């Protein structure tokens, strides 16, 4: 075990001890959390950017110009084809391969800071805080999920980072909803340059065949979990691989979406 890994392990052991025995503080403002709050206090969650923006239920984006009848936070619908919440023009024209996108907040301050500290600072407790606040979105959507599937990282990135932040977030959600996390259903077949370094047109090509799904995904209603959704092309590539494995209808659940 290298020193960095040991330090991370020691820090996560301390955190799980502290989580249990010390008064818990909000990950953003440090206010002591109420018994019905988890990870982030309610005022901080309510103040997150884009919390009250009506979103297209299919892609999670706020369409230019409000859509009448759209629901703040992004919600159920169309997906299940039940409530008929209106989709944005882009989704009506070329629907993404998932039926529903649930978004906790826009990718902007201060949630960008949490995601960054989780991913690059190894602050794994933040995955639990984000997961705790993402779980109610899925619950409220009524989406009938069989399991959560975190977007996988390549082996090389896992080796450098030591963990997959999407897996850690999915575990936080799964714990709260009693849903299994099935990381084994989706694998990254090769390393791809970070999407953020590429122009939009390059992103799709970058991800072609980057994922492979297990035949065990067949027929399952899955929820893809990721930390940040930018253009959506990573989730689309993951969804395409699951589609090839004959998975059932898919939803996406992300902590933050680039507005
Ligand atoms: Zn707070
Ligand atoms: Zn849309």
Any domain includes 99: yes
CA 6 to centroid of ligand 1, rounded, Å:
30
Domain assignment present for 87: yes
Q: With pLDDT > 70 as the criterion, what percentage of the chain qualifies?
A: 77
Residue 74 pLDDT: 46
Q: How many Å lie between the centroid of ligand 2 and the Cα of residue 55?
A: 8
- Residue 128: both structure tokens together: 């639990």
Nearest bound ligand to the CA of residue 44: 1
- The pLDDT of 27-42, averaged and rounded, is 89
At 85-105, the pLDDT tens digits run 688 999 999 999 999 999 999
The whole-angstrom separation of Cα 211 and Cα 110 is: 31
Query: How many domains does the structure of the chain reveal?
Result: 1
Q: Residue 136: is it exposed, middle or buried by C-beta count within 10 angstroms (0-12/13-18/19+)?
A: middle
Ligand closest to 92 (CA) is 2
Q: Which ligand is nearest to the CA of 39?
A: 1
- What's the pLDDT tens digit per position in 119-160? 999 999 999 999 999 999 999 999 999 999 999 998 888 999
Per-residue confidence (pLDDT) for residue 104, from 0 to 100:
96
Does residue 42 form part of some domain? no
Which pLDDT does position 190 carry in this prediction?
79
Q: How confident is the model at residue 213 (pLDDT cuts 50, 70, 90)?
A: very high
Considering every ligand atom, which ligand is closest to the CA of 89?
Answer: 2
Distance 19 CA to ligand 2 centre (A): 38
Domain-located, residue 166: yes
* CA distance between the termini of the chain: 40
CATH code, 166: 3.40.50
- Quick check: 12 pLDDT over 90? no
């Amino acid at each position: 075990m290298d020193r960095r890994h040991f330090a991370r392990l020691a820090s996560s052991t301390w955190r799980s001890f502290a989580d249990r025995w010390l008064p818990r503080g909000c990950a953003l403002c440090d206010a002591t959390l109420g018994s019905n709050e988890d990870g982030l206090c309610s005022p901080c969650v309510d103040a997150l950017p884009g919390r009250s923006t009506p979103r297209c239920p299919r892609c999670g984006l706020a369409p230019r110009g409000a859509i009448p009848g759209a629901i703040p936070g992004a919600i159920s619908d169309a997906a299940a084809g039940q409530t008929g919440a209106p989709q944005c023009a882009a989704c009506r024209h070329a629907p993404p391969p998932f039926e529903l996108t649930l978004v906790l907040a826009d990718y902007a301050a201060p949630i960008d800071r949490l995601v960054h500290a989780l991913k690059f600072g190894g602050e794994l407790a933040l995955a639990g805080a984000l997961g705790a606040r993402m779980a109610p979105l899925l619950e409220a959507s009524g989406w009938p999920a069989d399991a959560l599937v975190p977007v996988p990282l390549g082996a090389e990135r896992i080796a450098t980072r030591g963990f997959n932040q999407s897996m850690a977030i999915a575990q936080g959600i799964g714990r709260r909803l009693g849903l299994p996390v099935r990381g084994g259903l989706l694998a990254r077949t090769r390393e791809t340059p970070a999407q953020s370094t590429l122009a939009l047109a390059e992103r799709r090509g970058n991800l072609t065949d980057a994922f492979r799904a297990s035949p065990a995904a067949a027929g399952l209603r899955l929820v893809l979990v990721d930390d940040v959704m930018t253009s959506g092309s990573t989730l689309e590539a993951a969804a395409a691989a699951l589609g090839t494995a004959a998975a059932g209808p898919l939803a996406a659940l992300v902590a933050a979406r680039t507005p």
